[in-house]
């Protein structure tokens, strides 16, 4: 007999997993910042986030190829590894469990806001640029900045055709 879990329980489990990830990111950043200072912590966080985003985008390219899908912005959400089951529209600004958890951390640690934003900006921009190979994105509203939702816009980005990405920490010029 197949065991079933109800949707509300599944959503809660996904959200708890995301809270754990969000807190782990916070703790890594906190300790790196304490030991090496804010500038180095920002540089290291950007490098790690960028490299992981590139890795994730490559996996998304593989999924798109397997499914016969174009590498266009509309297919980012269809090939992502994000478990959107845990992103609940009814929760408004707490829809994203990362943002919900990071906003709790930001209340006690205002310095963390730039690191939370960095995670979103580097991850989403890099995935867009690598996955599409010719577009970028900008998050113009973000719950970690106090907005009610996260919203983004996509635009052409010719440098991506040459493998030049916005948040590449080794980018020259």
Model-level pTM?
0.94
Pure H helices in 68-159: 76-79, 97-108, 113-132
pLDDT computed for residue 40 by the predictor:
98
User: Quick one: CA torsion of 21, 62, 151, 125, rounded to 10 degrees?
Assistant: 80
* 145-152: average pLDDT: 94
- Checking if the pLDDT of 173 tops 80, the result is no
Tell me the per-residue pLDDT of 62-115, one tens digit each, with 9 for 90 and over: 999 999 999 999 999 999 999 999 999 999 999 999 999 999 999 999 999 999
3-state secondary structure of 136: strand
Tell me the per-residue pLDDT of 21-74, one tens digit each, with 9 for 90 and over: 999 999 999 999 999 999 999 999 999 999 999 999 999 999 999 999 999 999
3-state secondary structure 22-59: HHHHHHHHHHHHHHHCHHHHHHHHHHHHHHHHHHHHHH
Pairing of strands 151-156, 135-141: antiparallel
Q: How far apart are CA 73 and CA 123, in angstroms?
A: 14
Q: How far apart are CA 106 and CA 125, in angstroms?
A: 23
Tokens coding 51: 């490299």
* 116-145: average pLDDT: 97
């Amino acid at each position: 007999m197949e065991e079933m879990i109800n949707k509300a329980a599944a959503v809660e489990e996904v959200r708890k997993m995301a809270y754990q990830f969000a807190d782990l990111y916070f703790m890594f950043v906190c300790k790196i910042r304490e030991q090496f200072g804010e500038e180095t912590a920002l540089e290291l966080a950007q490098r790690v986030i960028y490299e992981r985003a590139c890795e994730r985008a490559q996996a998304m390219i593989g999924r798109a190829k397997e499914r016969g899908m174009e590498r266009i912005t509309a297919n980012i959400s269809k090939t992502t590894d994000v478990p959107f089951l845990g992103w609940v529209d009814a929760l408004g600004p707490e829809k994203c469990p990362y943002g919900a958890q990071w906003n709790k951390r930001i209340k006690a640690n205002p310095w963390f806001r730039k690191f939370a934003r960095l995670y979103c900006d580097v991850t989403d921009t890099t995935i867009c640029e690598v996955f599409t190979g010719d577009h970028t994105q900008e998050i113009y509203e973000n719950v970690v900045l106090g907005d009610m939702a996260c919203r983004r816009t996509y635009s052409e980005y010719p440098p991506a055709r040459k493998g030049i990405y916005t948040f590449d920490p080794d980018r020259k010029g």
